[in-house]
Amino acid sequence: QHDESRHDSPVRYRDGSVRLRNPNIELMDQDILYHLALGSGSHDLVEMFGDVKFVCMGGTPKRMEQFAEYIMAEIGHKIPAGTALHDISQYSYRYSMYKVGPVLCVSHGMGIPSIGILLHEIIKLMYHAKVKDPIFFRIGTCGGIGIEGGTVVISEEAVDEMLNPYHEQHVLGKKVCRPTTLDAKLVRELKALSHADDPYDTVSGKTMCTSDFYEGQGRLDGAFCEFDENDKKEYMQKLLDAGVINIEMESTAFAALTHFAGIKAAIICVALLDRFKGDQVCAPKEVLNEWQARPQTLVSRYIRRYLQRK
C-alpha cells in the first residue's frame, strides 16, 4: 500500500512511482485491465512488470512485435533457449503487448479513442506494478507537411484540428481540456541521437492530431470530398505557417494523458509522404517497412544509452 507521507507531487510518489489521480482505484479489491487481459487480482503485476522502464507504443501489433524482436537484439536481452516472445495481451483480442526486459512494447490501434483506452490501462498497470519514472514513446507514422517521405519527425507539441494545444474530452456531459505538453529536453536528447550519416533527416516541430485520415486530414481521395485541390493547398500552408510539420491521429491524447499522469513522453513518427505532393500512400511495401524502422532506431539508441549509463 502506498503511504501518504510518500507524496511529493500530485502525480508521483517520492520514489518516482506512478500515482493515480483517482482515489477509487486503491479502494477496489481488484482492478481488471480488461483490454490488456490482465488484472491486479489475477496476476502478480509487480512481479511481471515491476522492472519496466520504457513503454513503447505503435499502431499495429505486427510492428510492435518487430520492435520487440529488434530491441531484444539491440539491448542483448536473452529469453530462455527455444522459447519465443509471446503476446501478453493475446486473449484481449484488442491490443498486443510484448515485454523485453525493461522495455514494454504495446500496440495502440488507430485514433484517439483507441490510444486513450490503452493509456488508462497502461498507466494503471504502471501504478499496480510500482514502476518508477517510466518513459513512454509513441513510434508511429504520419503525413509530412513540406517534408519528404522517410523523414523522421519528433513532436515538440501536439495540437488538435483547430490548432489548440490541448486534448478535449467530454466527461459527464462537460468539456474537459488537458494540455498536450511534451518534454522539451527529451525532444532535444532524441534529436541529438540522430547521426549525420543516417540516410534520412530527423526534424522536430508541431504535430497536428486528427480524428480522421481522409477529410479530417484534408485528403481529396476519401469516399467524400467537398473541397478542391486549392482549398487543400491553402490549408496545408496554413498549418505550415502555424509551425505544424506533420499530421497523425493519436498525439494529443498521448501527450495530454502522459503529461496528466506525470509521465515523461515523446512522439517519433516517420512521414509516409509529403502532403503538399499527394494524398495516397504509394511507396512500395519494402520501402515503407524500411521507413517504419527509423523511429525504432532512434528510440533504440535512447534506450541503449540509458541502459549503458545505469
Q: By the criterion CB under 6 A, which residues form the site for ligand R2B?
A: 59, 110, 140-142, 213, 248-250
Q: Which of 243, 229, 242, 241 is nearest to 276 (CA)?
A: 229
174 burial class (0-12, 13-18, 19+ CB within 10 angstroms)? Answer: exposed
Give the residue with the Cβ less far from ligand R2B, 22 or 211: 211
State how far Cα 197 lies from the chain centre: 26
Residue 122 beta carbon to ligand URA: minimum distance, rounded to whole angstroms: 21
In three-state secondary structure terms, 114 is helix
Q: Which residues bind ligand URA (CB under 6 A)?
A: 141-143, 213, 217, 247-249, 272
Residue 201 beta carbon to ligand R2B: minimum distance, rounded to whole angstroms: 19
110 burial class (0-12, 13-18, 19+ CB within 10 angstroms)? Answer: middle
Residue 251 beta carbon to ligand R2B: minimum distance, rounded to whole angstroms: 8
Give the residue with the Cβ less far from ligand R2B, 213 or 306: 213
- The 10 Å CB-count burial string (b at 16+, else e) for 248-276 is bbbbbbbbbbbbbbbbebbbbbbbbbbbe
Residue 247 beta carbon to ligand R2B: minimum distance, rounded to whole angstroms: 8
Give the residue with the Cβ less far from ligand URA, 38 or 236: 236
59 binds, among ligand R2B, ligand URA, none (CB under 5 to 8 A by kind): ligand R2B
108 burial class (0-12, 13-18, 19+ CB within 10 angstroms)? Answer: buried
Give the residue with the Cβ less far from ligand R2B, 250 or 279: 250
Residue 213 beta carbon to ligand R2B: minimum distance, rounded to whole angstroms: 5
Give the residue with the Cβ less far from ligand URA, 129 or 272: 272
Residue with cell 512522439: 267
